[in-house]
A and B are shown apart, each in its own frame.
Chain A
Amino acid sequence: MEIVFMTFILMLSIFLGFELITKVPSTLHTPLMSGANAISGITVVGAISLAGTGQQDLANWLGAAAVALASINVVGGYMVTDRMLAMFKKKEGGR
């Protein structure tokens, strides 16, 4: 049954994703992509459980490497997106 639930969630999230992303204006497409980079770093959640098993085996090392790679995305992705979005300004005021 687990599989069915997961597939169900997958289907709903994809439809929701389509609805949300089509509303993002083209001027924000670059921050959208770097923000998506950060979100795809969610793999870190899976990597954490693999890197903390306490067993000094291959899976543990692979997990630790995955934590490092995914953290690059999470930290770098959110920071660079914030840096970009801070630059988007309106015509009057705001300065």
Chain B
Amino acid sequence: METVTNFELMIQFAYVVSGGMFIYGLKLLGAPDTARNGNKVSAIAMLIAIVSALVDQGIVEYQWIVLGFVVGGVIGGAAARMVRMTSMPELVALFNGFGGLASLLVGWASISTAGGTFTLVTIVLAILIGGLTFTGSLIAYGKLSETIGSGALMFKGQQVVNSLIVLGILVSAAMFCLEPGNPQWLYMVIALSLVFGIMVVIPIGGADMPVVISLLNSYSGLAACAAGFAINNNILIVAGSLVGASGIILTQIMCKAMNRSLSNVLFSGFGSRAADTTKVEGEIKPITAEDAFYVLEAASNVAIIPGYGMAVAQAQHVVKELTELLEKNGAEVNFGIHPVAGRMPGHMNVLLAEADVPYEQLLEMDEINPRMENVDVAIVIGANDVVNPAARESESSPIYGMPVINVDDARTVFVLKRSMASGFAGIENPLFYKENTRMLFGDAKESIGALVREFS
């Protein structure tokens, strides 16, 4: 039996404590009151794990570790302080990518000490998942920040190219495990996994980004998990699989909210399918801010349905002002939040929290829909597909079957929209032509600002 010193045992037990605290931290994240403490518990768990790793006797040199900490800490800290809440999806996408790349590097660096085929297989997995998470996240970041076109990029023979890449990965991964001494197979695996990450994300359109970043979030955890197997470290496995599970659940929720399967999101290139023959009847009825004000003044029950447009216009603060004025006027105001409103899960909730809207006022789709009949005015701010009645009524619509917020059940609907250009996914929206719908054209922030001025 090999001898284990008491000191080594203590380090291992510290990892157990750390793992327990990660789990407890996530449990506290289950309710808004305790969530902030949960995050702190999780941070302390991380600190314990890092300190345990640092005091390990295998470490003889600290300067590179410290340098890494300083560089990473400064970048991470600056990003966390400066990021605007509207840009959270981009930040999360970038962090997913860094996590993936870190796992790739750890996998790569542990090859020289690897023993046995099983370890080599886990190293390949860490490199593969880490690599595709890295480049996939960079593409997702590019699409979210619109530095590259946010549409779905499809080309002829895409499936064939992808199949060849997968085949190439399988072959080079197998060869690497057989001949670990020959670095060319390793470089092949790294290169192909990086290319694969790009290929996987380019055919996915901007409106499907909530699914993609959830999935990449999951992958960044799974990559850490694989790296844990590669270097025989349990805490990486525990923490990595918690992240992996979290991302997968969010992915499922997002897919369900769009009534699409994961494979449909990943492979079909939304909107490029059969022609949409949704019939639109009626005409567009624009309204001025002044007239809208008279309707709102008489309303006693108002529902606000925000979408990505609210984030783009940075309108959350002025929306809060309007909410306060309406409440002072005696109206009940609620927000209806669709699960895929915005570009990531919970995007709208964070923006409204930033504007000091209490979270009890934010209702999920299933809560607000039964109340919609009693709503006098529903105000749709920069949302389109998530309130599209075609999802219920028109079988030919690409989003048919997707659960939506039924704003058309309200007595009056105001739709705040920049212009009549069709939405992100380019789908016809019959809501705009309904009898009880009025369009308030213009920038969301300015339109609501105009309403606020009418009130005061």
Please indicate whether A and B come from the same complex rather than being unrelated chains: yes
Q: Chain A: which residue is nearest B99 at the CB level?
A: A40
Q: Chain A: which residue is nearest B27 at the CB level?
A: A20
A17, A66, A72, A73: which contacts B242 (Cβ < 8 A)? A17
In the bound complex, CA of A84 to CA of B350 (Å): 7
Shortest distance from the beta carbon of B222 to any chain A beta carbon, whole Å: 9
Shortest distance from the beta carbon of B17 to any chain A beta carbon, whole Å: 14
Contact indicator B220/A37 (Cβ below 8 Å): yes
Shortest distance from the beta carbon of B243 to any chain A beta carbon, whole Å: 5
**Chain A positions 34-56 with a Cβ under 8 Å from a chain B Cβ:** 34-54
In the bound complex, CA of A49 to CA of B77 (Å): 23
Interface range for B: 35 or more
Task: Specify which chain A residues have a CB less than 8 angstroms from the CB of B253 in the assembled complex.
Answer: 26, 29
In the bound complex, CA of A85 to CA of B35 (Å): 7
If the complex has contacts A17-B246, A51-B65, A87-B353, are A82 and B39 also in contact, measured as CB distance less than 8 A? yes
In the bound complex, CA of A64 to CA of B109 (Å): 10
Task: Specify which chain B residues have a CB less than 8 angstroms from the CB of A47 in the assembled complex.
Answer: 68, 102, 105-106, 109
In the bound complex, CA of A39 to CA of B213 (Å): 16
Contact indicator A53/B58 (Cβ below 8 Å): yes
A14, A45, A79: which contacts B76 (Cβ < 8 A)? A79
Contact indicator A13/B35 (Cβ below 8 Å): no
Interface-facing stretch out of B87-95, B265-273, B421-429: B87-95
Contact indicator A45/B50 (Cβ below 8 Å): yes
If the complex has contacts A27-B359, A76-B75, are A49 and B53 also in contact, measured as CB distance less than 8 A? yes
In the bound complex, CA of A62 to CA of B273 (Å): 45
If the complex has contacts A49-B231, A77-B95, are A13 and B237 also in contact, measured as CB distance less than 8 A? yes
If the complex has contacts A49-B59, A76-B95, are A24 and B217 also in contact, measured as CB distance less than 8 A? no
B103 CB-CB contact with A under 8 Å:
yes
A24, A60, A72: which contacts B30 (Cβ < 8 A)? A24
If the complex has contacts A10-B241, A20-B26, A40-B99, are A52 and B62 also in contact, measured as CB distance less than 8 A? yes
Q: What number of A residues sit within 8 Å (CB to CB) of B? A: 81
Task: Specify which chain A residues have a CB less than 8 angstroms from the CB of B235 in the assembled complex.
Answer: 42, 45
Contact indicator B49/A42 (Cβ below 8 Å): yes
Binary per-residue interface labels of chain B (41-79) against chain A in the complex, 1 for a CB within 8 Å, 0 otherwise: 011001001101110101111101101110111011101
B414 CB-CB contact with A under 8 Å:
no
Task: Specify which chain B residues have a CB less than 8 angstroms from the CB of A24 in the assembled complex.
Answer: 26, 29-30
Task: Specify which chain B residues have a CB less than 8 angstroms from the CB of A68 in the assembled complex.
Answer: 67-69, 71-72, 75
Task: Specify which chain A residues have a CB less than 8 angstroms from the CB of B361 in the assembled complex.
Answer: 91
Interface-facing stretch out of B166-174, B288-296, B337-345, B372-380: B337-345
B136 CB-CB contact with A under 8 Å:
no
Task: Specify which chain A residues have a CB less than 8 angstroms from the CB of B359 in the assembled complex.
Answer: 27, 88-90
If the complex has contacts A43-B227, A72-B75, A74-B46, are A20 and B30 also in contact, measured as CB distance less than 8 A? yes
B23, B68, B240, B350: which contacts A71 (Cβ < 8 A)? B68
Task: Specify which chain A residues have a CB less than 8 angstroms from the CB of B339 in the assembled complex.
Answer: 26
A34, A67, A88: which contacts B91 (Cβ < 8 A)? A34
Query: Which of A14, A26, A28, A42 is most buried by chain B, counting CB atoms within 10 A of its CB?
Result: A42
If the complex has contacts A25-B30, A26-B364, are A17 and B244 also in contact, measured as CB distance less than 8 A? yes
Q: Chain B: which residue is nearest A62 at the CB level?
A: B109
In the bound complex, CA of A35 to CA of B56 (Å): 27
Task: Specify which chain B residues have a CB less than 8 angstroms from the CB of A13 in the assembled complex.
Answer: 237-238, 241-242, 245
B217, B230, B349, B353: which contacts A37 (Cβ < 8 A)? B217
7 A-B pairs closest in CB distance: A71-B72, A17-B245, A67-B68, A76-B76, A29-B346, A52-B59, A79-B80
Spell out A's residues near B (CB within 8 Å).
2-3, 5-6, 9-10, 13-14, 16-18, 20-54, 57-91
List 13 additional A-B contacts (Cβ < 8 Å) besides A17-B245, A72-B73, A84-B85: A43-B236, A48-B53, A59-B111, A63-B105, A67-B72, A69-B101, A75-B72, A75-B80, A76-B75, A83-B81, A88-B353, A89-B359, A90-B360
Q: What are some 8 contacts across the A-B interface (CB < 8 A)? A: A33-B246, A33-B247, A36-B220, A52-B64, A64-B67, A65-B105, A76-B80, A86-B36
